[in-house]
Amino acid sequence: MEVLRSGWGIEFAVPNDWAPTATPQDGGIVALEPRLEEFRANIVLVSGPAGTRSLRQWQAAVEAELPSALAGYQLIDLTPWETDVGSGGRRLAQYTTVQGDYLSMEQWFVRAGSVGHTLTATVETFRYSVLAPTFRAMAESLTLPGVSR
């Protein structure tokens, strides 16, 4: 596994053959699997101010936006996620592309102070069960600055 570090100082490990891409302006990380087909599984880390909202309020606002942002969005599971990093949650959902392909999205989120961090893995739904263990390993490797494991 290769450790990637975001502009916010957050680290997580990705498989050695996954390709990190240019980081988004928010200091996040994007890594793509090494497939050459139309859709490449990916993992994206974004961080940003969560304001004064509680974790529950922050995620309720996110959940309210997802159906309008992702066609055919359907929440499958939303559970607490306790980590060394802090309290957060895990979301599993699916949606469709413009071409009508089904994608599965697994998302882990945690709040540290007033900053929210979200790690989102996306893959075609028919391949989700194959990559789910890899996604979970990446999420479990997540570390924030100043938090020891």
CA 86, CA 69: separation in Å to the nearest integer? Answer: 28
Host domain of residue 28:
2-140
Contact between 145 and 5 (Cβ < 8 Å): no
Domain presence at residue 147: no
Kindly report, residue by residue over 85-127, the tens digit of the pLDDT. 677 999 999 999 999 999 999 999 998 878 888 999 999 999 9
Q: What pLDDT digit, counting tens, does each position of 19-46 carry? A: 988 665 667 889 999 976 778 999 999 9
Count up the domains in the chain and report the number.
1
Q: Burial of 102 by CB count in 10 Å (0-12 exposed, 13-18 middle, 19+ buried)?
A: middle
Percent of residues, the chain, with pLDDT higher than 90: 56
49, pLDDT greater than 90: no
| Tokens at 18, concatenated | 């996954």
CATH of the domain at 105: 3.40.1000.10
Question: Does some domain include residue 92?
Answer: yes
